[in-house]
Structure 1
């Protein structure tokens, strides 16, 4: 359950206006937290060779889950960029792109998770900010990871999106879209899932799905 200060964006109520909450300047921090499968207690099962084999396979599949939080940004002057760990594109807050990622949590065990900050003092320069997450390596699906994204303003306003209703084999998710709507900056829940069947190069797939027109080259971290 969330506390009373947290606005949870749901299918039934997917939009919130930052302006109406008085969140028009300063930083808004985007936190991604998830539970690594290895941290989930296994169900009791019978002993024996096959039981040990099943347990070993589960443990092998649970290792090295690496979720990456990112943000694709389109500016009012037409410029476009992305902030993400891939390619060490960690961004900056005091200069372009005015969005920054603080760290790359490769296991889900970092207490603070992954955090991305947006400098709303430059809010007028943003046309769209698409928050997304994908599996860089490890587990082939988001199922069982209990991923939650929380946006927190400098004043403590909290807006939360739970990455639920995950289909089988989903390896990426468009979380939320921040954009201008009737003069106000609004956050809209997306939770739009992508699977390998959508095509290779997940950033390119997401960019095309949202018509952001970005061009991508292969990269590693």
Structure 2
């Protein structure tokens, strides 16, 4: 059983899954973030005095839930491409194409388990690149204060963590990490590349073009 967590940082941004013995089975990608509404409610409980309580209640009433969406753009070795995400109900599947699945759509950040993508490494030979990304669907102007963390966990318990830090103002999307084959090994590379509305409309298209994934997009809803 593996122990400890490997944190991918600017100084040490890559890790080889092969070197950690993670070459098969399922790997879970978890996104968790601080719910502003839950944080505001905690402030209400901790507030002292009548006026302090009233101010905390008023602040809590003005706070919106934040809906972050975790997704994965996938390019396969045969040249085909797809995306797994809540938008358009493209939840995917493991054990069959595209071998990646999203378990749920956490619309508030209050769900203890957050959002989870599962990647089936038994089919890793089919993958050329997997780009993990997240964007704000609604409820916030950027990621500041959300304390978003993405953790990849293998069946054995190996843990690899990416913190979505250093968020610039108005950043409403982030390319989290790129998983690809490098010198014969499957490598996870920290990206934490932020995107703002100035980068253009249609955030999935913007991210896809930035990474030259060559995907075509149509409007979707959830």
Q: TM-score, normalised by structure 2?
A: 0.91
Residue of structure 2 in register with 1:132 after alignment: 133
Residue of structure 2 in register with 1:67 after alignment: 68
Deviations 1:75-129 (A, max 9, x none): 0000000000000000000110000000000000111100000000000110000
For the 8 Å contact 2:3–2:157, the answer to whether it is kept is no
RMSD: 2.1
Residue of structure 1 in register with 2:77 after alignment: 76
1:40: how far off? 2.5
Deviations 1:117-160 (A, max 9, x none): 00000001100000000001111111100000000000000000
- Superposed, 1:119-158 pairs within 5 Å as 119-158=120-159
Structure 1 unpaired stretches of 5+ = none
For the 8 Å contact 2:37–2:65, the answer to whether it is kept is no
Looking at secondary structure, tell me which structure has more helix per residue.
2
Residue of structure 1 in register with 2:96 after alignment: 95
Name the CA distance, whole Å, in 1 between partners of 2:61 and 2:78.
Answer: 49
Q: How many residues align?
A: 215
How has the CA–CA distance of structure 1 residues 215 and 56 changed in structure 2, closer, same or farther, with 3 Å as cutoff?
farther
Q: TM-score, normalised by structure 1?
A: 0.91
1:56: how far off? 4.2
How has the CA–CA distance of structure 1 residues 55 and 198 changed in structure 2, closer, same or farther, with 3 Å as cutoff?
farther
Residue of structure 1 in register with 2:15 after alignment: 16
Residue of structure 1 in register with 2:117 after alignment: 116
